[in-house]
Structure 1
């Protein structure tokens, strides 16, 4: 029942965020939309930002599939772009409100996890120290999330397939090594 209530609140928040920014949404509106009391909301979440972050994390789990990431992380990165594009109003309204910090934290976590899984799936990952793995993950996390945030800031006009294709070419040309291959092809 707890998970069902949380998902209902997340769906309500997403619906409202598709029409207005986060700072215009109240806990009462979410509770009313779900048919629960405000106290029920606070039983599950400390505030709307907590619900927003929970929503991002729950939806982000769909991208964490180690086997797929190790085979082709570019397709998974493209799926992240497509998820954002399919939830354009939700994303833009979260980005343009005080929820931006939660949105960015979500992207950083998802992208870091994707890169970490990819590194672990490379044939020579055992040769890379944990310190170096963390550095690699952080470097690419900031670069890849920066691209996503810039795309959102620009109104999501560029085609995600073009962005990921350019990124794939750039990374393959610049960073391909025997120790850390960037693709399994």
Structure 2
């Protein structure tokens, strides 16, 4: 998965494209008793992506602070993707991606600069 700060959007695109290409599988999983498995999978992927961004932006960031940031934004991304599934992917992939970019662009860097 793409983790570098300059490529976080590519990583998000890979995840969103996977969901779009596997729409029925993801929606069926989401609507089944295994919904929690999908949520945890989305969180783990998003956590890893955000932790990589933090590492890229601030190599000497303490692991506890890196994980705090990755946890917050990981759940934010996972929840937004879950909401996208709730609406049966009514929002196009491009619209979803643009909305995530508007909300996330520069925010991790802002947190790092203002809290350390």
| TM-score using structure 2 length | 0.84
Q: Flag the structure with larger Rg.
A: 1
Cα RMSD after superposing both structures: 2.0
| Mapped partners of 1:174, 1:113: distance in 2 | 17
Normalised by the length of structure 1, the TM-score is 0.55
Deviation string for 1:63-106 (max 9, x for gaps)? x244xx43220121022111001001111111111111111111
Query: Structure 1 residues 178, 113: closer, same or farther in 2, change over 3 A?
Result: closer
- Segments ≥4 residues shifted beyond 6 Å: none
Q: For the structure 1 residues 101 and 117, does the alpha-carbon distance in structure 2 shift closer, same or farther, using more than 3 Å as the test?
A: same
Residue equivalent to 1:132 = 65
Structure 1 unaligned spans of 5+: 1-63, 181-185
Q: CA deviation at 1:176?
A: 4.6
Larger relative CO (CA 8 A, sep 6+): 1 or 2? 2
Q: Which residue of 2 aligns with 1:85?
A: 20
Post-superposition Cα deviations, 1:129-153, rounded to whole Å, max 9, x if no partner, equal 2111111001001110110000001
